[in-house]
Amino acid sequence: MATKKSNTIKLKFDSARELAPAPESKSAATIKPQYELFINGKFEKPASKKYYHTINPATEERISSIAESNQADVDRAVKAARQAYEKTWKKMPGKERAKYIFRIARMVQERAREFSIVETLNGGKPIRESRDFDVPTAANHFFYYAGWADKLEYAFPNRQASPLGVAGQIIPWNFPLLMAAWKIAPALATGNTVVLKPAETTPLTALKLAEIIQEADLPPGVVNIITGAGATGAAIVNHPDVNKIAFTGSTDVGKIIQRAIAGTSKKATLELGGKAANIIFDDAPLDQAVEGVINGIFFNQGHVCCAGSRLYVQESVFDQVLRKLKDRMETLIVGDPMDKNTDIGAINSKAQLDTINKYLKIGLQEGADMYQSSCKLPGKGFFCRPTLFTNVAQSNRITQEEIFGPVLTIQTFRTDDEVIAKANNTPYGLSSGVWTDKGSKIFNLTTKLRSGVVWANTFNKFDPVSPFGGYKESGYGREGGLHGLYAYVNVK
Ligand code: NAI
Ligand code: MG
């Protein structure tokens, strides 16, 4: 019986891997050999005179040269944002601001194919995901907040909402265009101006967005996009003329930012790490739950702050779930991110691959059992097999710390109370998932799980209308929805 089962799976697996290559074409996107800083509506050379290479993590080939901003460049960008704020943007009626934001949204849509190609080449995520998730969701965010720009009196009834001023925005490499949209759209809708810094490994779609912003004829200085690494980010955070910091990234840097702005009047929203519990009860539709677990941890190579990286399975269905999970993992296609059949693309950087591999070693040293799918990995580029760990303890580092890769830990539980205690036993609190057929169980858990988002019988679902953000070391403040507007206004 068991042999027969594994034969069928092997056949399925072989045929999945025999799919003919279906690569998206690189030539549908233009990438310049060198990018400058987008300041005051123009592309300008960095005062630092320094550039660095951005690469394709799937091939390790250089794609383009990127300007590295120093303090003088940050000063210039903040000055441009301040002038644009005082002279035009804060005075402009919401109805007029909305037109610009709608224009950006439409232009992102029109150039969606180009954006998805560039996102995949620069970041390593499967083209299917950039095409079907990142780019359309980014456009949706601009559409959604464009709609609010002339309706702020309804968002804050009987109160007066005024913009904060210049927003310094620092974003990570896991959803480069989408995070730029999450940051820029609500800031502009509420009348703030922006200095945004993309992550050093993935600057290209933000720079393409700068091209769109230029073409959309936004008043110069309303959005400035400057590139560079942590030091550039720190210069934005510490700039005295910045009124608000919006940061998405590691909890470590979140803490540095919090210390840096203590005692200043700067406002901040921090979207940090996560270690989400995904919980399967024995009455759940198991095949759907397994699909949800696969999506929860392997979407975007697991480079997702809300990834479902800790699986809790009710004891009576553990063997069944584990078998289904391993079978499904075998069918995942790992490889060329530009291939439309690829499920798992490249790890974003060598540094991140080293971090993930470090955790795989830690897991083994902690005595856990590691299982990886048997796929072949490409010879070049940064890749990691989908991995799961069983026989793990709640106190293990692989259960407690954010790995940010395609690595799942699995534990069992017997009762609701037990799984609630285990799920909440983490320094983080960004998201969680519950799989059960029982509505009462869903209500019981959603009220007791300490995380900003709880998904029920689904996972990793996003909508611009729905606020997103964390508890505890996952940060504070909400992005998306009506809540996302609060982060950019003073309310009287
Ligand atoms: P990071 O937090 O260092 O980088 C995120 C952004 O912050 C980048 O734009 C970076 O240039 C900037 N930055 C770095 N140091 C800064 C500073 N002192 N002041 C201001 N800005 C600064 O994240 P990193 O090092 O790339 O990844 C390390 C770990 O962080 C990952 O393994 C993952 O666990 C976590 N992470 C979480 C993300 C999330 O979405 N919550 C996103 C990226 C990383
Ligand atoms: Mg870092």
| 271 counts as catalytic | yes
- C-beta of 233 in contact with ligand 1 (< 6 A): yes
The span from the CA of 279 to the CA of 90, in Å, is 46
CATH class of this structure's domain 274-463:
alpha beta
* Domain spanning 26-272+474-491: CATH 3.40.605.10: yes
CA distance 489 to 162: 5
How do residues 188-244 score in pLDDT, each as one tens digit? 999 999 999 999 999 999 999 999 999 999 999 999 999 999 999 999 999 999 999
The whole-number pLDDT of residue 19 equals 86
Helix (H/G/I), strand (E/B), else coil: 8: helix
Give the atom of ligand 1 at the shortest distance from the alpha carbon of 271: 41
17 pLDDT band, cuts 50/70/90, is low
Q: How far is the CA of 199 from the centre of ligand 1 (A)?
A: 8
Burial pattern 245-260, b for ≥16 Cβ within 10 A else e, equals: bbbbbebebbebbbee
In the reported structure, the alpha carbon of residue 196 is separated from the centroid of ligand 2 by a whole-number distance in angstroms of 17
Q: What is the C-alpha to C-alpha distance for residues 316 and 334, in angstroms, rounded to an integer?
A: 31
Residue 305 annotated among the catalytic residues of the structure: yes
- Mean pLDDT of the 140-154 span: 97
Taking CA atoms only, the protein residue closest to ligand 1 atom 30 is 250
Q: Ligand 1 centroid vs 170 CA: distance in angstroms?
A: 9
β 407-413/267-271 pair status: unpaired
Write down the domain spans for the chain.
26-272+474-491, 274-463
Asked if the model's pLDDT at residue 126 lies above 80, the reply is yes
Residue 276 has pLDDT above 50, yes or no: yes
Write out pLDDT tens, residues 298-344: 999 999 999 999 999 999 999 999 999 999 999 999 999 999 999 99
Q: Token digits for 394?
A: 């709640």
First to last CA, the chain: 70
And the tokens for 19? 């799919």
CB 112 near ligand 1, within 6 Å:
no
27-51: average pLDDT: 97
> Ligand 1 within 6 A of 468 CB?
no
Which of these is catalytic: 271, 330, 473, 479? Answer: 271
Give the rounded distance of the alpha carbon of 148 from its chain centre.
Answer: 23
> In the prediction, which pLDDT does 266 show?
98
**18 pLDDT tier (thresholds 50, 70, 90):** confident
Helix (H, G, I), strand (E, B) or coil at 400: helix
Between 12-26, 101-115, 121-135, 347-361, the lowest mean confidence (pLDDT) is in 12-26
Q: Summarize pLDDT for 342-361 with one digit per residue, the tens.
A: 999 999 999 999 999 999 99
Best residue among 74, 248, 253 to mutate for probing ligand 1's pocket (most ligand atoms within 8 Å of CB) is 253
Checking if the pLDDT of 107 tops 70, the result is yes
Quick check: CB of 179 below 6 Å from ligand 1? no
User: How many angstroms is it from 200 CA to the middle of ligand 1?
Assistant: 10
Question: Residue 233: nearest ligand to its CA?
Answer: 1
Predicted pLDDT of residue 325 = 98
Predicted confidence at residue 6, as pLDDT, reads 46
